[in-house]
Every structure is written in structure tokens, then in C-alpha cells.
Amino acid sequence: MGPILQVEKLTKRFGGLTAVAELDFEVREGEILGMIGPNGAGKTTTFNVIAGTYPATGGEVRFAGEPILGLPPHRIASRGVMRTFQHNRPFAGLPVIDNVLVGAHTRFAASLWSVVLGSARSDEGQRRKRAEELVQFVGLGELRDADVATLSFGQGRLLEIARALAGEPRLILFDEPAAGLTPAECARLAEIIRGIAARGIAVLLIEHDMHFLLPLAQRVVVLNFGAKIADGLPDEVRAHPAVMDAYLGSHATPQ
């Protein structure tokens, strides 16, 4: 499979701090690519630059062959790059199903109000049908009408995923999706991520929990101080001396 995302010499500085340093990697179509690295390694910043939240200092990012650096976040989303955040961000006061519908409108650039008011667009019915399917897909079917304020943390995470999928991504960026989940929820999440990749959607997955990531990812990129220090198959990366050093240096050994 060819690359859907190509990152070349990507650099992001915050004043004197280089958060991402000449980073090269690519994500192939339908692939699950893991991204690991100690706290502060530049993982979330990499997402923020790819998604257009922060401008890059240098380098190039191509999505489906087209340069995307410098585009505003909604334009990047509308091309098919969706993300979840390190912290859940539901739209308070809206039920689960409408939160998912908002995701569809992120991609298709309609306003939140057209969701709330149920404005009659020709494809609205189709979006609703898809939102229903996605709520089922992530296992929140019985909670479709629940207020998001009543969801558990783990259910909130599933909602974030359904909302990102509603934008019909070709690439989805997950920032530590397993953080804070119970072991049972992690197992369910792993199944969902596999299901996403099986639908042909490429996945870029930041994750600290190696037990979660290594069985899931086809390849893994390792960052430290913003630079790539290793990439390869999960087993190769785990055994890589630079990876051991980086984690020992941060007092967090990969397990």
C-alpha cells in the first residue's frame, strides 16, 4: 500500500525549544502506525502540526500526495484527517448521537447550529444514518440519547472516536486513546482500532502503554527530544538500544 501521509523534515520550535526536529515518517493506507516516546518527546506537537493547529517551523507534510502544511485545521479535516485529543472534549448539553453528528459536520463544514436545529439538507438523513451506525460500532448504541454529561470516562473516549469517524477520515490521529481506560475498555478499544484499519482508514496512534500498542501497530516510530530515534516493527523497536536508553532516561521502561 502507498503512503497516505508523508512527513518530511518536519520541525516545530516554541521560542528556543525545538519540540519536533527534522522528523521524517510516513503512514501507509490502512496501516496502524504507532508513535511512542517519553513525556515531552514531541508526539502531541507532531499531531498539532499535522492537523494545522500549530504552524510548522519547517519541513513538509503531504496528505494523499498534496501538501497540507499551512492550511487551516478545518481544511485539513475536510481532506480527511481527523483526530482525537489527549483529553475528551464532548459538546456539553447535546446527546451522544448529536455529538457524533457534529463530527460529520466538521468534515462537511456545516455549522453546529444546523445539527442542533436539524436543518433539512438533502444529505442530512444519510449523515444521521451513518452517525447511528458509528454509535453502534463503538458500542454506545444503548446510550445514543444519553446526555454526554452522564457518560463514564471510557464511554466519553468511545464517543470521541465515533465523532472523529463521522468525519469520514482517511487518516485518524489518536493521542493516547488508552490512557485512563480499564483493562476491559482497553481490549474493546483495541478491537475498535483494528476495525477502523480494516475499513481501510490509516491510523496514527500515540500511546505510552506498550502492552496496548505493540500488538496493535504494524510499525512503530520512536521520538525523543523531538527527533526520531528508531522506527521499525514493534519487536525491533522494543529491543532497540536507543529506545531502551530514552525510556530509562525518563524512568519509564517500555514493558
Ligand X SMILES: Nc1ncnc2c1ncn2[C@@H]1O[C@H](COP(=O)(O)OP(=O)(O)OP(=O)(O)O)[C@@H](O)[C@H]1O
Listed ranges 37-45, 137-145, 146-154, 161-169: which one lies at the site for ligand X (CB under 6 A): 37-45
How many residues in the shown chain lie near ligand X by CB under 6 A? 11
Q: Is residue 251 at the binding interface for ligand X, with CB under 6 A as the rule? A: no
Contact of residue 19 among Mg ion, ligand X, none (CB under 5-8 Å per partner type): ligand X
Query: Segment 80-139, which members bind ligand X (CB under 6 A)?
Result: none
Q: Binding to ligand X by residue 45, rule CB under 6 A?
A: yes
Residue 48 binds Mg ion (CB under 5 A): no
- Nearest approach in angstroms of CB 129 to ligand X is 36
Count CA atoms closer than 13 A to 26's CA, side-chain side.
12
Q: Is 45 in the site for Mg ion (CB under 5 A)?
A: no
Closer to ligand X by CB, 21 or 186: give it: 21
Choose between 85 and 108: whose C-beta lies nearer to Mg ion.
85
Beta bridge partners of 67: 62
* 44 binds Mg ion per the rule CB under 5 A: yes
Task: Print the binding letters for residues 119-148 with Mg ion: x by CB under 5 A, - otherwise.
Answer: ------------------------------
If the CB atoms of residues 44 and 99 are measured against Mg ion, the closer one turns out to be 44
| Residues found near Mg ion in the complex (CB under 5 A) | 43-44
Q: Which residues are at the interface with ligand X (CB under 6 A)?
A: 14, 17, 19, 37, 39-45
